[in-house]
Structure 1
Amino acid sequence: MTRPPRLSRRQKLILAAVGVVIVIAVALGVGLGLGLKHDDDDGGDEEPVPTFTSSPAPIPSAVWEPKANSSWQIILNAVLDIDPNNPSVEPDVEVYDIDMFIHQNTQVIPSLHKLGKKVICYFSAGSYEPYVPDASQFPKADIGKDLQGWPGEKWLDIRSTAIRNIMVARIQLASKMGCDAIDPDNLDGYQNENGKDLTANDSADFAVFLANEAHKLNLGVGLKNAGEIVKTVLPFMQFAVNEQCGQYKNCDLFSPFIAANKPVYHIEYPDGAPKTISATEKNSACSAPGAQGFSTVIKEMDLSGWVQYCDGRTEDTKVVS
């Protein structure tokens, strides 16, 4: 049997000092409640106490307020192919969520309006993308680490005045284009290795900032993912857009939107998408715990025109090739 090595006097002194520090730290934690859960804690994740850099503004009555269970389609990788002189589109749903920049010089939004559809305009608010028209405006100092799985895309310092000014210009573009609302993506940098030490409170503050700016122009705004800040920002959002809460088993975080009669536009990406989704995959996506009342669609990861709904219906929206 091998004996453990003997500790030198110096090592013993170091260990003793470390022990004293630990005892003091624990005593302070117990006495002051620093970072420790109380006995009455339910064990769930607590939302941050919000500290907003600007006060949330009243929501104008002209802002579009969709209702829970409204139907939708989302297409982000291509321009919708709609004849502006004789518009038609499938599926016949209430809401279309489309990429803002690639539809900038088209007649797609007025064509969808002619068909009685509402239009949500997507852009990434929390990340730098090298291929968008305003990419050169982003200060290098405000660009953080890579988004895992998205080559060239990087997290942004959403606290930066320069970044916020860029987003204000994007919101103004959305208004000019006739969008009914915005879908600002990547508000959940705090959940990732972002390189800018972002917190959940930073994301909540940024979400409210975006909401204030959108509401000034009578645009609705949605919370994209970031389930931990739902309760904090819910009063200022018109809807949520969620990806994969069924897969990650956290749909309950978004259920407050349904309780407030606001839609959760919910996407799942089963392995079988497109076209070869098993009944088990569909049921898992459509019957996820906590997702009751969600507006669920099944899509492939690139968010092309193909979609499947929970009633089994599939559609393939025509796009410009």
Structure 2
Amino acid sequence: MHYSTVLLLASANSLVTATPVSRRAAVTKFPSGTSWDIVLNDGNFDLAGLKAAKGDVLDIDLFDNTADGKTWIKELAKTKKVICYFSAGSREDWRPDAKDFAASDYGKELDGWKGENWLDVTSTNVRNIMKKRIEAAAAAGCSAVDPDNVDGFDGNQDGFSKDASVYADYVNYLAGVAKNNTLAIGLKNALDLIPSVINNIQFAVNEECHANTECDRYKSVTKAGLAVFNIEYGINDCSEPSGVILSSVMKPANQSLDTLGGQC
């Protein structure tokens, strides 16, 4: 992280303390069909490039978002709804707060992602770290957060044998923190959680719903009027099942998210 987390957290805490709930700005809405783009590697783009990105919404990394030592978020937020990505279900050993996790907080490595381990989402310490991240997102000027890896229950890939209800509780906890900081929040993948969290989210983010033949499972999200931001890797499929409105972008087959563009 190229900005001061301490300062950001202090600013967020001051905002929450000083601003009465009735006077806070409304949580940003992301209605069905909202156009978007996502880029999680800042190495190839300058600020002008990101500002010129197609779509009303831009999903970028909460940590890797600087140019010339300054965060891009507040500048981008002048013309975009900025969603700030972070992993809520894993510890990434390269993040600036990686040392804050206790050894008991994390276990199995994510398949194919060296240095990234699944978290125990029931840990009070894990939840406090994520609370700080959300507060930092608010202070940085994000409109929303995109918490990844909340599907550790799927096939017991987290190694903690937590079931879907535990992850639903976790997502709803994160949603409560986001709301307290006037941030929208999305559900990333984890389709089994939709019925349990739909009243607390403002959008969904999916990877490869066409490739996995699961796009039709977003009918309730579209019915609620919420955006479904879909990413497809290496295929060009802009179709929509009946009753579902997708905001799709096509990205390279290697699943890198360091290129802009690809909207339907």
Q: What TM bracket, shorter-length normalisation?
A: 0.7 to 0.9
Separation of aligned partners in 1, 2:59 and 2:116: 21
Q: Does 1:254 align with 2:218?
A: yes
Deviations 1:176-227 (A, max 9, x none): 1010000000000001421111110011000000000010010000000000
Of 250-259 and 159-168, the range deviating more from structure 2: 250-259
Structure 1 residue identity aligned to 2:51? V
Q: Indicate the residue corresponding to 2:245 in structure 1.
A: 293
Separation of aligned partners in 2, 1:295 and 1:119: 16
Contact 2:42 2:64 (8 Å CA) reproduced: yes
Deviations 1:91-129 (A, max 9, x none): 331000000111265341122122x21100000000010
Q: Which runs of 4+ in 1 moved over 4 A?
A: none
Q: Indicate the residue corresponding to 1:180 in structure 2.
A: 143
Contact 1:143 1:156 (8 Å CA) reproduced: yes
Aligned-residue sequence identity (percent) comes to 41
Aligned length: 235
Separation of aligned partners in 2, 1:168 and 1:267: 27
Select the structure of larger CA radius of gyration.
1
Q: Give the root-mean-square deviation of aligned CA atoms.
A: 1.8
Structure 1 residue identity aligned to 2:42? A
Partner secondary structure for residue 128 of structure 1: strand
Contact 1:190 1:197 (8 Å CA) reproduced: yes
Q: Does 1:92 align with 2:58?
A: no
Partner secondary structure for residue 77 of structure 2: helix
**Structure 1 residues 1-321: aligned runs within 5 Å:** 62-78=26-42, 80-82=45-47, 89-103=51-65, 106-114=70-78, 116-192=79-155, 193-270=157-234, 281-282=235-236, 285-287=237-239, 289=241, 292-300=244-252, 301-310=255-264
TM-score (norm 2): 0.84
Separation of aligned partners in 2, 1:144 and 1:88: 36
Contact 2:240 2:246 (8 Å CA) reproduced: no
Separation of aligned partners in 2, 1:178 and 1:95: 14
Gapped regions of structure 1 (runs ≥ 5): 1-59, 271-280, 311-321
* Alignment CA distance shift 1:227-1:93 (3 Å): same
Separation of aligned partners in 2, 1:162 and 1:182: 20
Contact 2:37 2:263 (8 Å CA) reproduced: no
Separation of aligned partners in 1, 2:70 and 2:219: 36
Separation of aligned partners in 1, 2:263 and 2:50: 20
Separation of aligned partners in 2, 1:88 and 1:150: 26
Contact 2:223 2:243 (8 Å CA) reproduced: no
Please identify which structure carries the higher strand content: 2
Contact 1:251 1:290 (8 Å CA) reproduced: no
Separation of aligned partners in 1, 2:201 and 2:54: 25
